[in-house]
A and B are shown apart, each in its own frame.
Chain A
Amino acid sequence: DAKTTQPTSMDCAEGRAANLPCNHSTISGNEYVYWYRQIHSQGPQYIIHGLKNNETNEMASLIITEDRKSSTLILPHATLRDTAVYYCIVRVASSGGSNYKLTFGKGTLLTVNP
C-alpha cells in the first residue's frame, strides 16, 4: 500500500474548522484513502473514505486533489472531544472481500483548544 505523510501535530480552536492534510504521492489508481482517529487509550474509529471524489458524512468531509496525491480531512466545527490522533491510510480496493490490511502510520495528533 502507498505510504502516507502527515504532520506530527496540529492545534485547532474549539468551534473552528480543523483541516488535516495527508500526502500520498505514490497512490495508485485503485487505492482508496481512509481516515481513522484514535482517542487516547481507545481503539481506532472509522471517519470517512474515498477514491476520487470528495466525500462528506456526519463526521467530516474528505477533499481529494485531482491528481489524488494528497487529501485533506475537514472537521467543520471542532470540539474538545475531537482531540485525537488522526490516521490517513491508503489501501488497495479489494474485489469485495474483507481480507485487506490497514497499515497505520504515525498520524497527526490534533489538539482542540478551548
Chain B
Amino acid sequence: DSGVTQTPKHLITATGQRVTLRCSPRSGDLSVYWYQQSLDQGLQFLIQYYNGEERAKGNILERFSAQQFPDLHSELNLSSLELGDSALYFCASSPGPVPGNTIYFGEGSWLTVV
C-alpha cells in the first residue's frame, strides 16, 4: 500500500459527460501529480500541484482541469468526454516539489467512456 488513495476505482460514463477523479496524497506529501495511462501511449504526465499551486503542466487537454485543495487532496476534472479518454488515471505524491526518489503512485482510476 503506497498510501496514495484514489477514488473511484472504476467509472463508466457516456461520451459528452463530465467526471471527477479524486486523490488523497500520502500523509505529509505536498505534491500531487496526475498521469494518464493508455495501452498505446504509456504513462503520460498531465499536471502537478505543489501545496495548492500548479507547478508543472504536461500534455493535459483543455477539457481537463485539476486543483489541489487546502487539505492537499486533489481532483482531476474531465469534461466533454470522448471515447479516446478511456484510460487508467494515476495520482502520485511526493513530499517536496521535486519527485526525487520518493514519488509513490496510487492504484489508479479506470475510466471507460462508452
Q: Do A and B come from one complex?
A: no
